[in-house]
Amino acid sequence: MTSSSNVPALRFESIEEVLAVLRARGRRISTPCRLVLETLFAAEGPVSAQYIVAHAAIATPDPSSIYRNLERLERAGVVRHVHLGHGPSLYMLVGSGEREFLVCERCEQVMALAPAELRTVRRQIHKQFGYTARFTHFPIVGVCADCARLEAAASATAPAAPSSGRRP
């Protein structure tokens, strides 16, 4: 199992802010690091490392360099990775705060939420089991409202199962 980062999220709004903080911490900013950040800032949501390799603004980025930079950025509190299904880990910036996720196991819709929106769920889990739950690394998986309605409608119109003729 992969582990989630325990580093506090860095607050930022721009790539320049991230670069300034990294430099202030003594980090040298390599071209691959800058390309990873540029690609993440341009993305509309969590993306895979393969996406970053394909969309980086250089001809042939070295995938191992992309992964190394993603790991370094995660240790710096700039990036988080999340597992939203059976595919590869997805990476996202956390400058505006941590996100937690709900994923529909039918249509694969992903809902990103602020951690405060799941506070009641976490409290109930803690109260009942003593666990402090986080849904930033692995999401809550279930069935979204649309898929639940479709399932209910399908089962309401489905023909009754044939009887075996025997009584219980």
- Asked if residue 48 lies in contact with residue 89, where contact means CB atoms within 8 angstroms, the answer is yes
Is residue 36 packed enough to be buried (19+ CB in 10 Å), middle (13-18) or exposed (0-12)?
Answer: buried
* 89 & 45 share domain: yes
* 108 & 142 share domain: yes
Q: Read off the pLDDT of residues 23-48 as tens digits, 9 standing for 90 and up.
A: 999 998 998 899 999 999 999 889 99
What CATH number should be reported for the domain holding residue 86? Answer: 1.10.10.10
> Is residue 76 a part of any domain in this protein?
yes
> Is residue 165 a part of any domain in this protein?
no
The structural domain count of the chain equals 2
> Is residue 144 a part of any domain in this protein?
yes
* 35 & 89 share domain: yes
> Is residue 10 a part of any domain in this protein?
no
Residue 118's domain comprises 100-155
Domain termination site, one of 93, 110, 139: 93
* 78 & 105 share domain: no
- Which pLDDT score, from 0 to 100, does residue 97 have? 83
* 61 & 125 share domain: no
- Which pLDDT score, from 0 to 100, does residue 154 have? 87
- Which pLDDT score, from 0 to 100, does residue 81 have? 92
What CATH number should be reported for the domain holding residue 115? Answer: 3.30.1490.190
* 136 & 113 share domain: yes
DSSP helix/strand/coil, 125: helix
* 151 & 105 share domain: yes
Crossing angle of helices 15-24/31-42, nearest 10°? 150
- Which pLDDT score, from 0 to 100, does residue 1 have? 41
* 88 & 143 share domain: no
Domain termination site, one of 45, 71, 93: 93
* 83 & 33 share domain: yes
- Asked if residue 8 lies in contact with residue 77, where contact means CB atoms within 8 angstroms, the answer is yes
- Which pLDDT score, from 0 to 100, does residue 164 have? 56
Q: What is the pLDDT along the chain (168 residues), one digit of tens a residue?
A: 455 567 888 899 999 999 999 999 999 899 889 999 999 999 988 999 999 988 877 656 688 889 999 999 999 999 999 998 777 889 999 988 888 889 899 998 888 888 899 999 999 999 999 999 988 888 889 999 999 999 888 888 867 656 555 555
